[in-house]
Chain A
């Protein structure tokens, strides 16, 4: 009997503690982010500065973010990070709330290209701002400074017969069609008509004949670079890839092509189910501080929107990645390019 009583008491205490912690959690800001976007020391600083507790959940893929946010209709999180290509889908599904930019003091201090948000494709809709740019990287060109002279300025160098068999390209139809469209001077590389598609395909067949191989991971490209005579790499992994190559002693440099470099851009957004809008705004503003931005680039190698980094110079043209007209068609046509003898 005594045992049973003790057991009951223990259960009551346990329940009490459980309720207390869930009450404490209820006041916390709930953040969903990629690894590297909400490091523990920043969270600590944020809590110290604002008195707002934070619970961070990390995600590993775009699909996972969608599953988590859509699954709870936005009720499970206050703030989360998505890229520009994905954001429109969330706006359409009514899962995010518009953001009052005047509440974000640090947004006035960001790099010029991110100051006017209506000029950043994908973050606004009907005049309302839904995403605050935070982190980005361009997909530029890595070149071997000993072999490629003068320094290239355009992706068209990949077609230069002087580098036949010394070019590493990336094995992905979607991106290859987009960047080739930019090289051909098409305005919207993500929405190509039949004629443009055919022209891009012909151009890619030409590219293929100048290429040594197609790679998929950054490691793979590095290994091929080490064992072969490689002069140019289409750098899907941007700054991370350059730095890794420089680390092993390669004489390489990075350039964003003059016709515009494809680039991904991650944004902070406020979910529809936000409990405390002011706290969410404070989080975003904190993330836009020079300190966090600088540390983010230092730790991850990505560009941030507040301080200058190697990802893009002030005059570089960046073309934010967007959904393409027909991914299936691009993938099929990419196979046709690869199958062309």
Chain B
């Protein structure tokens, strides 16, 4: 009896411990750092040292200085474009995958996801070589006669960031779209066929609406990852591809203006959280109506 009691006791203690850990980990590693970050955004810097007095100065500067808002807006436009292009490319790919049978489907999906196993920096380096003036893309276009001579259109500007981010983030768009397409019951498609709908009609009236939740979460994934990235713009953006991430990054290096950097991060976080909420809400509404 007593032995059974003590095991029960131990079990209860274990489950309590697990519960505490489950709550403590996100609090300690996510909420507390975020709160510290938020706190920092109200401090200021004087002569290279942080002044721990509360002020709204950083936010006022962000909203009134002519430098930050335009860059912020351009960056949002850029990342929305990346998300749209990713979706346009990923949708046909994901659709094609669902038409495959059996093991081919998953083998090909794995192949599309393989780039995620590679280091981010190495991929950027590789893409930058491809886009360069003596790079593969230019050589191919010249060899095919599409271009007379190598062009600098593809590297060290906004186009380069757009291309690179799209390439890097496409796997994140394929996966959710593929999952939502795969979840569509085959019976619905067959019923539509039986009732005399054409392939296009079936796609437009059944497949597409039912896959929109996947599209929504894919778009918010890609947007969030793109807007938080400073490395890609830094490495392929050159002189005209100046993004918000690069401004943010510069606050933490030589400038040593952590409080202002924190305030800029908060602005970024607001947009990111909004994007996630929109993506999730849109996705869920459509999902439950199935």
Report which A residues bind B (CB closer than 8 A): 165, 171-174, 208-209, 211-214, 216, 220, 223-224, 226-229, 327-328, 331-332, 334-336, 338-339, 341
Per a CB cutoff under 8 Å, which of B70, B255, B257 touches A339? Answer: B70
Q: Is the CB of A229 within 8 A of B239?
A: no
Residue pairs across A and B with Cβ atoms less than 8 A apart, 26 shown, are A171-B234, A173-B255, A208-B239, A213-B237, A213-B238, A214-B238, A216-B234, A220-B235, A223-B125, A224-B128, A226-B134, A227-B129, A227-B134, A228-B133, A228-B134, A228-B155, A229-B134, A328-B45, A331-B250, A332-B255, A335-B67, A335-B250, A338-B239, A339-B67, A339-B71, A339-B242
Interface residue? B135 (CB, 8 A): yes
Q: A210 — nearest CB in chain B belongs to which residue? A: B239
Interface residue? B48 (CB, 8 A): yes
Interface residue? B120 (CB, 8 A): no
Q: Is the CB of A212 within 8 A of B48?
A: no
Interface residue? B213 (CB, 8 A): no
Report which B residues bind A (CB closer than 8 A): 45, 48, 67, 70-71, 125, 128-129, 132-135, 152, 155-156, 234-235, 237-240, 242, 246-247, 250-251, 253-257
* Contact residues in A for B129 (Cβ distance below 8 Å): 223, 226-227
B147 to nearest A CB, angstroms? Answer: 15
Per a CB cutoff under 8 Å, which of A173, A209, A227, A335 touches B132? Answer: A227
Q: Is the CB of B246 within 8 A of A338?
A: yes
Q: Is the CB of B254 within 8 A of A331?
A: yes
With most chain A CB atoms within 10 A of its CB, the pick from B67, B134, B240, B246 is B67
* Contact residues in A for B135 (Cβ distance below 8 Å): 227
* Contact residues in A for B152 (Cβ distance below 8 Å): 165, 212, 228
Q: Is the CB of B67 within 8 A of A227?
A: no
B49 to nearest A CB, angstroms? Answer: 11
A211 to nearest B CB, angstroms? Answer: 5
B161 to nearest A CB, angstroms? Answer: 12
* Contact residues in A for B71 (Cβ distance below 8 Å): 339
Bound together, the chains give a CA A172 to CA B253 distance in angstroms of 10
* Contact residues in A for B133 (Cβ distance below 8 Å): 227-229
* Contact residues in A for B254 (Cβ distance below 8 Å): 172-174, 327, 331
Bound together, the chains give a CA A171 to CA B132 distance in angstroms of 19
Q: Is the CB of A224 within 8 A of B45?
A: no
* Contact residues in A for B155 (Cβ distance below 8 Å): 228
A172 to nearest B CB, angstroms? Answer: 7
* Contact residues in B for A213 (Cβ distance below 8 Å): 156, 237-239
Bound together, the chains give a CA A339 to CA B156 distance in angstroms of 14
Q: Is the CB of A328 within 8 A of B239?
A: no
Q: Is the CB of B247 within 8 A of A335?
A: yes
A229-B134, A327-B255 known; A223 vs B239 contact (CB < 8 Å) = no
Bound together, the chains give a CA A341 to CA B156 distance in angstroms of 14
* Contact residues in A for B235 (Cβ distance below 8 Å): 220
7 shortest interchain CB distances as A-B pairs: A227-B132, A331-B255, A213-B238, A228-B133, A213-B156, A228-B132, A338-B242
Q: Is the CB of B128 within 8 A of A227?
A: yes
Q: B132 — nearest CB in chain A belongs to which residue? A: A227
Bound together, the chains give a CA A328 to CA B247 distance in angstroms of 13
A328-B257, A339-B67 known; A212 vs B242 contact (CB < 8 Å) = no
A8 to nearest B CB, angstroms? Answer: 41
Beyond the given pairs A226-B129, A228-B133, A339-B71, 4 more chain A to chain B contacts, judged by CB atoms under 8 angstroms and listed by A's residue number, are: A172-B254, A209-B239, A212-B238, A214-B238
